[in-house]
Amino acid sequence: MLGYSGYVVVKKVESRRTDKLQKFLEQCNDVMNLKYIIVLDSNTGIDLYSQSFEEKELDPTLISGFLQAIHNFGVEVIDGAKESRTVKVEYKNSIILMTEFINLRLIVIMKSNPSKNFLYSIESLAYHIYKYYGKLIENFEGNLKPFRSIQKLIDSDFNVSFRYPLTISISKDVKLNQNEKEMIKKATSFMKDNDFTHFYALYLLPDNACGPKDYETLLNLIKKGLFVPVKKQKE
């Protein structure tokens, strides 16, 4: 019985570790598959905020019109989420996800299907946007400047910081593990060898692929303020 109990405990630990690694992989893949995020006033269809993760910009009004037309004829709720407000449309090699919350419409365009956890993140983001910007949307009079800070909510809910160009900010007070030290060394060498003032996290990943250890290390360095998104420096 003791032997069996020990076996069960080990299997549970291994299962939790596997689940954690799987979650890291899914998070990384979801973020790498992001193309565009658009926030619209659901009553007027006006795009209040949009963010591109591609070199090519997108006309959010065009996508909004397309989605609204599809929505009027009825779109199946995304698989496996009957209580979800999110609908999915496949369009021109893209997966378009749309969720509505009170007076806003959130559109997320991806290269491929997201994980189920990411679907929950989309609806959570829609809620957070409404929580902080709902009244502004309700009383919208044409000023888009207050909506620029939606980027901070996207960064927080989706962990997209490592998609931005990064630079290094050294601090002697921050404790680092060996993986973090090696990652900083790799980033420093990359910028020096290529005479760059910044780098992308993807450049530091083996074969440009997400691995749980590397992904966790990158996020830790960003959270510790050692890898700093260039966009945040400019603010």
Q: What is the pLDDT of residues 132-160, one digit of tens each?
A: 999 999 999 999 999 999 999 999 899 88
Look at residue 172 and tell me whether its pLDDT is greater than 80: no
Residue 61 placed within a domain: yes
Q: Are residues 74 and 112 both part of a single domain?
A: yes
Number of H helices, E strands in the chain: 7, 7
Look at residue 50 and tell me whether its pLDDT is greater than 80: yes
Residue 89 placed within a domain: yes
Please report, rounded to a whole number, the percentage of residues in the chain having pLDDT higher than 70: 74
Residue 122 placed within a domain: yes
- Which amino acid would we find at residue 153? L
Starting at the earlier edge strand, list the strands of the sheet with 34-41.
47-52, 34-41, 104-110, 94-101, 87-91
**Prediction pTM value:** 0.76
Q: Nearest to residue 61, comparing CAs of 105, 127, 110, 97?
A: 105
Residue 75 placed within a domain: yes
Q: Are residues 230 and 117 both part of a single domain?
A: no
Indicate the pairing of strand 34-41 with strand 47-52: antiparallel
**More confident call, 2 vs 182:** 182
Q: Are residues 109 and 224 both part of a single domain?
A: no
Q: Are residues 168 and 218 both part of a single domain?
A: yes
CATH number of residue 43's parent domain? 3.30.450.30
Q: Please state the domain count of the chain.
A: 2
Residue 28 placed within a domain: no
Residue 179 placed within a domain: yes
Look at residue 169 and tell me whether its pLDDT is greater than 50: yes
Of 125, 159, 193, the domain-final residue:
159
Of 111, 131, 159, the domain-final residue:
159
Q: Are residues 88 and 168 both part of a single domain?
A: no
89-114 pLDDT, tens digit per residue, is: 777 788 888 898 999 999 999 999 99
**More confident call, 128 vs 5:** 128
Q: Are residues 166 and 197 both part of a single domain?
A: yes
Q: Are residues 205 and 221 both part of a single domain?
A: yes
10-32 pLDDT, tens digit per residue, is: 444 444 555 666 676 788 889 88
- Which amino acid would we find at residue 196? F
Q: What is the pLDDT of residue 13?
A: 42
Q: What is the residue range of 166's domain?
A: 162-234
